[in-house]
Amino acid sequence: MTPDEFREYGRQVVDWIADYYERIESFPVLSPVAPGHIRAALPEHPPQHGEPFDAVLRDLDRTILPGITHWQHPSFFAYFPANASGPAILGDLLASGLGAQGMLWATSPAATELETHVLDWLAELLGLPSAFRGNGVIQHTASDATLVALLAALHRASGGRTEGAGVRSGRFAVYTSNQSHSSVEKACRIAGLGADALRKLDVDPATLAARPEHLRELLTADRAAGVVPALLVASVGATGTGAVDPVAELAAIAREAGAWVHVDAAWAGVAAVAPEFRWLNDGLELVDSYATNPHKWLLTNFDCDTFWVADRTALVSALSILPEYLRNAATESGAVIDYRDWHVPLGRRFRALKLWAVIRWYGAEGLRAHVRKHVELAQEFASWVAADDRFEIVAPHPLALVTFRLCAGDEATLELMRRVNASGELYLTHTAVNGGTALRMSIGSPWTERRHVEAAWAALSR
Amino acid sequence: MTPDEFREYGRQVVDWIADYYERIESFPVLSPVAPGHIRAALPEHPPQHGEPFDAVLRDLDRTILPGITHWQHPSFFAYFPANASGPAILGDLLASGLGAQGMLWATSPAATELETHVLDWLAELLGLPSAFRGNGVIQHTASDATLVALLAALHRASGGRTEGAGVRSGRFAVYTSNQSHSSVEKACRIAGLGADALRKLDVDPATLAARPEHLRELLTADRAAGVVPALLVASVGATGTGAVDPVAELAAIAREAGAWVHVDAAWAGVAAVAPEFRWLNDGLELVDSYATNPHKWLLTNFDCDTFWVADRTALVSALSILPEYLRNAATESGAVIDYRDWHVPLGRRFRALKLWAVIRWYGAEGLRAHVRKHVELAQEFASWVAADDRFEIVAPHPLALVTFRLCAGDEATLELMRRVNASGELYLTHTAVNGGTALRMSIGSPWTERRHVEAAWAALSR
Which band of pLDDT confidence, cut at 50, 70 and 90, is reported for residue A80?
very high
| pLDDT(B293) > 90 | yes
Cβ-defined contact of A356 to B10 (cutoff 8 Å):
no
Q: For chain B, what is the mean pLDDT?
A: 97
**B45 contacts in A (CB within 8 Å)?**
121, 124
| pLDDT(B323) > 90 | no
Over range B136-161, report the average pLDDT.
97
- Asked whether the CA dihedral A150, A153, A158, A163 is positive or negative, the reply is positive
Tell me how far apart the alpha carbons of residues A196 and B427 are, in angstroms, rounded to a whole number: 49
Tell me how far apart the alpha carbons of residues B323 and B319 are, in angstroms, rounded to a whole number: 13
**A346 contacts in B (CB within 8 Å)?**
141-143, 181-183
Cβ-defined contact of A83 to B99 (cutoff 8 Å):
yes
**Residue A217 C-alpha, separation from nearest chain B C-alpha, in angstroms:** 22
Over range A396-418, report the average pLDDT.
98
B380-398 burial, b at 16+ Cβ within 10 Å, e below that, comes to ebbebbeeeeebeebbbbb
Tell me how far apart the alpha carbons of residues B102 and A81 are, in angstroms, rounded to a whole number: 13
Cβ-defined contact of A36 to B113 (cutoff 8 Å):
yes
Cβ-defined contact of B143 to A346 (cutoff 8 Å):
yes
Q: What is the DSSP string of B391-432?
A: EEE-S--SSSEEEEEETT-HHHHHHHHHHHHHHTS-B-EEEE
Phi, psi of B441 (to 5 degrees): -105, 105
**Residue A306 C-alpha, separation from nearest chain B C-alpha, in angstroms:** 14
pLDDT tens-digit map of A239-275: 999 999 999 999 999 999 999 999 999 999 999 999 9
Residue A231: its H or E element: strand A228-235
| pLDDT(B334) > 90 | no
Question: In sequence order, which residues have a C-beta less than 8 Å from that of residue B400 and are 6 or more positions away?
Answer: B271, B297, B371, B374, B375, B377, B378, B442, B443, B444
Mutate to test the interface with B, among A302, A348, A350, A447 (most CBs of B within 10 A): A302
| pLDDT(B96) > 90 | yes
Q: Is B41 exposed, middle or buried (0-12, 13-18, 19+ CB in 10 A)?
A: middle
Q: How many CB atoms lie within 10 A of CB A81?
A: 27
**B5 contacts in A (CB within 8 Å)?**
86
Mutate to test the interface with A, among B4, B19, B140 (most CBs of A within 10 A): B140
- Asked whether the CA dihedral B224, B226, B230, B234 is positive or negative, the reply is negative
> How big is chain A, counted in residues?
462
Which band of pLDDT confidence, cut at 50, 70 and 90, is reported for residue A169?
confident
| pLDDT(B242) > 90 | yes
Cβ-defined contact of A55 to B116 (cutoff 8 Å):
no
Note the pLDDT of residue B277: 98
Which band of pLDDT confidence, cut at 50, 70 and 90, is reported for residue A326?
confident
**A124 contacts in B (CB within 8 Å)?**
45-46
Note the pLDDT of residue A322: 86
Cβ-defined contact of B3 to A22 (cutoff 8 Å):
yes
Does the beta carbon of B90 lie under 8 angstroms from any beta carbon of chain A? Answer: yes
**A183 contacts in B (CB within 8 Å)?**
346
Mutate to test the interface with A, among B169, B174, B401, B427 (most CBs of A within 10 A): B169
Note the pLDDT of residue A323: 87
Does the beta carbon of A435 lie under 8 angstroms from any beta carbon of chain B? Answer: no
**Residue A18: CA count within 13 A, CB half-sphere:** 19
Q: How far is CA B282 from the centre of its chain?
A: 20
Cβ-based contacts under 8 A for chains A and B: 518
Query: Residue type for A183, please?
Result: S
Domains and CATH numbers, chain B: 93-356 (3.40.640.10)
Interface predicted TM-score (ipTM) of this complex, two decimals: 0.97
| pLDDT(A151) > 90 | yes
Cβ-defined contact of A182 to B326 (cutoff 8 Å):
yes
| pLDDT(A103) > 90 | yes
Does the beta carbon of B368 lie under 8 angstroms from any beta carbon of chain A? Answer: no
Which band of pLDDT confidence, cut at 50, 70 and 90, is reported for residue B168?
confident
Name the pTM for this structure.
0.98
pLDDT tens-digit map of B175-199: 999 999 999 999 999 999 999 999 9
